[in-house]
Each structure stands twice: as structure tokens, then as C-alpha cells.
Amino acid sequence: MNQSIGRTCWAIAEGYIPPYSNGPEPQFISHETVCILNAGVKDAHVEITIYYSDKDPVGPYLVTVPAQRTKHIRFNNLTDPEPIPHDTDFASVITSDVPIVVQHTRLDSRQAENALLSTMAFPGN
Amino acid sequence: MNQSIGRTCWAIAEGYIPPYSNGPEPQFISHETVCILNAGVKDAHVEITIYYSDKDPVGPYLVTVPAQRTKHIRFNNLTDPEPIPHDTDFASVITSDVPIVVQHTRLDSRQAENALLSTMAFPGN
Amino acid sequence: MNQSIGRTCWAIAEGYIPPYSNGPEPQFISHETVCILNAGVKDAHVEITIYYSDKDPVGPYLVTVPAQRTKHIRFNNLTDPEPIPHDTDFASVITSDVPIVVQHTRLDSRQAENALLSTMAFPGN
Amino acid sequence: MNQSIGRTCWAIAEGYIPPYSNGPEPQFISHETVCILNAGVKDAHVEITIYYSDKDPVGPYLVTVPAQRTKHIRFNNLTDPEPIPHDTDFASVITSDVPIVVQHTRLDSRQAENALLSTMAFPGN
């Protein structure tokens, strides 16, 4: 149960933060999420790099996921070095110093009813 | 057809039980499901551990999936050692003594129309 | 372009045919689909076995996917050896004599607006 | 951060461009998207081949994804050698001369509220 599971490099080719939302906040704010599980016994120091279609990559965004914890990170909330623009295509690479598991989820509430998508990220090594 | 397929350790980084629902029960109760297939000829003794963002992991939750059977388990229905709180981020690790296949699905019926997501879990070994 | 891609054994742990639908037929009939791509130069002779939670597996259902063709098969339409009951949890194993790629999709139109899910199946060998 | 991640051959077994849409354009035009991330330092020369159920494959469609860029390509927008028909099942194989990551997403806005699906493509080598 305590052993580590996952990889140290992951990629998500799809990324898009819808520009507006419907429904009560914060749950129904349209969001793009990277869910990280660190099942191991050492803290994970995670670096996220954002790729765009028309400019150089931005990052790293630094996140720590403590040992035996999960963190569901909304791309909307990443601000350092800079916020990710809405209504813009992006992709991301997630690296860590210890094995983690990475999953990608979007809640789109632009219209009256929300829509969901999710997929495991691609394990790079 | 009778041979075993799958792995003995799986992870799901995303987990969230919506706090409320719309529509006829039990089909439209918002739920988070782990679907397990045991295509082999021996019963699978499965252990599920739940990881949180702010407290120690809880588990194992024990489930038996008989030989050549599938079980679609709603996280909502896991009660021993304790129920999983709603409206809370979690992740899970699923281990088994024989190979199984694990898939993650959510039906979200908080708004009038339901939304769905699904992905294969990450095979850990 | 002509070379074969994929595996010869796949599993889908999630399966569920919603019992009713909304919207114009046949596109909006609630359905569970297994999408098969045979990119190779030999026809694929595919066998699908259905696993249940409370009875023995049923199959094989036989499907041929010609060379360099795709086939999107609705579980709703499988009838031999027997139709798959609606509103019932199932899982499936898909085997082939040549490499294929298998993806799982559901359109759920029980409520006024449809919901979608999709994931690659799990490659078993 | 600069190193390459991914594979040079990918497959998507599911493909379907809904024949109509609801909502403001172009965001809510029903679309089927292949998201490609090229995290490496060399431009990716990508070839997409489309497979059908009842005729020979069509392609290659040629796309360049520059180094350290992502491109989210709507199948709707591929025109050379020929547009992909709507309301028709298809599948695709994506090859590249350098490693890339490929993800498949659909926004279906045929009904009043949109539905979403996404999955990583299948890495073929």
C-alpha cells in the first residue's frame, strides 16, 4: 500500500480553459484540472511546463505533492510565472523527482448543463 | 477466452463524489465508479486505498471479484473502514492478488442533464 | 501507412447499455460502442466475450474487420449467441488474429441532452 | 524540460464528426479534434491517414507541428487530399518523424447542451 506507483514524466496534449461558466461557484466554474497522486513515502516536487501553438513554452510552475497525498490542480489557478490565458489551446508536460500518477479532467459549464472529460495523461518514461 | 488479462496494481488520480443529484434513483444518483474485470479463473481479492489531499490514506477497502466476473463498484457505497466524504478530492490505488482490468467512470447529475467521464486506470506494474 | 498497429487482446471493464433514449434515431439511441481499427493488410477475425457480475461469460460474438478498415460496433446490435441485456453492468474482452486498436465510447441520451464518454481499451498483451 | 516525449506512431479507433451544431461559432461547432504536442527541439512532420468502414484509407494529410509547440487540429478542417465526410464513422493513424504526444477530443453540440469526450490515442511503437 505504501509503495510508490507511477512515472516521473507525463504529458497532456489537450488543454483549454473555457472563457465563461454557468452555475454556482467554485464547483461549476469551467476548469481544466491536472490530478496528481503521490502514493509514495517521499514528497513529490513537481514541475509543470505549458506549451502553446504560437509562442515559447512557459514554466516551470512549481507544485509540491506531499507523500501519500493527492492534489487536484486547476490550471486556472496557476499564476507563477504567469496565468494561463483562457480560450487558448495549450498542452502540458509534468515532471517529478519521484513517481506520480497524472490524470486530466475538464468541467465545461459554458452552457446551462456541464460537460465532463477525463483521461490518464501519457506516461513519458 | 479463459486466460487472465490485466495487472495487479492500478491507480486513479481523479476522484470526486458530487454532493447532490438530479433524476430517478438509483441510476441517476451522481456517482464515481471503479469497474473491475476479472477475466481469469481464480477469484480476485482486491484492496482499495483512498488518498486525500489533507489527511492520511484510508483503507484497505476489501472487495472480492469472482473468477470470470465483472464488478462495477460505486465509491459512494464503500463503507468499511469508513464512507468517502462527498464534495472532496480523492485518489485511489487498487491492488489484487490476480490480474484484473480497472476502469474509472463518473456520472455527474448535479445539473438537470447528466455528464459522463471515463478512462482506463493507470496500470502500475 | 500500410503497416499493422495495435494488439491482439484488449479489455473494457466498463459496459452499460442505458435502457431508454431521447432524440432522433438512430444517432441518438443510447448506445455503447466498441470501435475497432484494423490498419493492417490482413482481415481481422475478432471475438468478443461479454462478462457479467452474476453469471458466466457469454460469447464469442464473431466480427470481421476487413484489412485497412474500421468498424464501430454497437453492443446493442450484437445478437448471436444472444443480445446483451439493457440496464445491466457488463465488461468485455476482445481478441483478434491480427493486431487491431480498440476504443470504447458511450452516448447516453436518457435525459434531454446527451452525454459522452470514451477511452482506449486496455491492451492485454 | 526541452527533451522530447512521446512516440512516432499513434492510432485513434473512434472518429465521428456530428452533422450539425448548436451554439456560438466557432467554439460550439461540433468538432472532432486531434491534439498534438511536440515537446522536442525539432519540428514534427506529421502524416494523418483516415480509415473508413467501406472504402480505402485516404491520406496522408500533412501537418507540421513546430518544435516546442502544440497544435489542436479539427478533423473538420482537413481538406487536402479531401474533406472528411460528416455523420460517418472513421478512424485515424498519426505518424511523425520525431516523438509527439497525441490526444483525441470531441465536442458534440448537436443538442442544446454540449457533450465532451477525450482519450489519449494508442501509442503504436
Q: Which amino acid is at C69?
A: R
* Banded model confidence at residue A112, pLDDT cuts 50, 70, 90: very low
CA distance linking residue C67 with residue C64, whole number of Å: 9
Question: Does the CB of A115 have a partner CB in chain C at under 8 Å?
Answer: yes
Listed by start position, the domains of chain D span: 7-123
Can the peptide bond before residue C99 be classed as cis, meaning omega within 30 degrees of 0?
no
Q: Which of D21, D50, D33, D49 is nearest to D111 (CA)?
A: D21
Q: How far is CA B108 from the centre of its chain?
A: 15
Beta-ladder partners of C108: C115
Per-residue pLDDT at C112 exceeds 80 = no
Give whole-number Cα distances, A25 to A19, A20, A21, B26, B42, in Å: 15, 12, 9, 27, 47
* Cβ proximity of B8 and B125 under 8 Å: yes
Question: Does the CB of B68 have a partner CB in chain C at under 8 Å?
Answer: yes
CA distance linking residue D14 with residue C12, whole number of Å: 15
Per-residue pLDDT at D66 exceeds 70 = yes
* Banded model confidence at residue C79, pLDDT cuts 50, 70, 90: very high
* D36–A93 C-beta distance less than 8 A: no
Q: Which amino acid is at C44?
A: A
Q: Which chains touch A (3+ CB pairs under 8 A)? A: B, C, D
Mean predicted lDDT score pLDDT of chain C: 85
The predicted pLDDT at position D67 comes to 97
* Banded model confidence at residue B23, pLDDT cuts 50, 70, 90: low
Question: Does the CB of B119 have a partner CB in chain D at under 8 Å?
Answer: yes
* Cβ proximity of B52 and B16 under 8 Å: no
Q: Is C19 helix (H, G, I), strand (E, B) or coil?
A: coil
* C119–A119 C-beta distance less than 8 A: yes
Question: Does the CB of A125 have a partner CB in chain B at under 8 Å?
Answer: no
Q: Which residue has the higher pLDDT, C106 or C63?
A: C63
Residue-wise pLDDT tens digits, B67-125: 999 999 988 889 999 999 988 999 999 999 999 999 988 765 555 445 566 778 889 87
Q: Burial-class residue A4 by CB neighbours within 10 Å (0-12, 13-18, 19+).
A: middle
Across D57-67, average pLDDT = 97
Residue-wise pLDDT tens digits, A3-47: 689 999 999 998 888 775 555 556 656 667 899 999 999 999 999
The DSSP-derived string for C45-80 is EEEEEEEESSS--EEEEEEEE-TTEEEEEEGGG--S
The predicted pLDDT at position B62 comes to 97
Question: Does the CB of C70 have a partner CB in chain D at under 8 Å?
Answer: yes
Question: Does the CB of D114 have a partner CB in chain A at under 8 Å?
Answer: yes
* Cβ proximity of D79 and D61 under 8 Å: no
The predicted pLDDT at position A16 comes to 84
* B101–C91 C-beta distance less than 8 A: yes
Specify the DSSP class assigned to residue D85. P
Residue-wise pLDDT tens digits, D7-55: 999 999 988 887 755 555 566 566 678 999 999 999 999 999 999 999 9
Q: Which chains touch B (3+ CB pairs under 8 A)? A: A, C, D
Minimal-distance CA residue of chain C relative to B64: C53
* B121–A119 C-beta distance less than 8 A: no
Minimal-distance CA residue of chain A relative to D72: A89
* Banded model confidence at residue D62, pLDDT cuts 50, 70, 90: very high
- The Cα diameter of chain A in Å comes to 44
* A12–D103 C-beta distance less than 8 A: yes
pTM, full prediction: 0.89
Per-residue pLDDT at C87 exceeds 90 = no
Q: Which residue has the higher pLDDT, B3 or D59?
A: D59
CA distance linking residue A75 with residue A46, whole number of Å: 14
Q: Which residue has the higher pLDDT, C17 or B81?
A: B81
Minimal-distance CA residue of chain B relative to D112: B113
**What are the residues whose beta carbons fall under 8 Å from the beta carbon of C71, sequence distance 6 or more?**
C35, C36, C38, C63, C65, D53, D89
ipTM computed for the complex: 0.87
In this structure, the number of other CB atoms found within 10 A of the CB of residue C97 comes to 12
The predicted pLDDT at position B2 comes to 46
CA distance linking residue D90 with residue C101, whole number of Å: 13
Find the radius of gyration of the CA atoms of chain C.
15
Q: Which of B19, B16, B34, B42 is nearest to B94 (CA)?
A: B34
CA distance linking residue B30 with residue A71, whole number of Å: 22
Q: Which residue has the higher pLDDT, C22 or D103?
A: D103
Question: Does the CB of A80 have a partner CB in chain C at under 8 Å?
Answer: no
Q: Which chains touch D (3+ CB pairs under 8 A)? A: A, B, C
Across C91-96, average pLDDT = 96
The DSSP-derived string for A72-103 is EEEGGG--SS-PPPSS--EEEEEEEEEEEEEE
Give whole-number Cα distances, B8 to B70, B94, D18, in Å: 15, 8, 39
CATH 3.30.390.30 for domain B7-123: no
The predicted pLDDT at position B25 comes to 57
Residue-wise pLDDT tens digits, C100-109: 999 988 765 5
* D115–B115 C-beta distance less than 8 A: yes
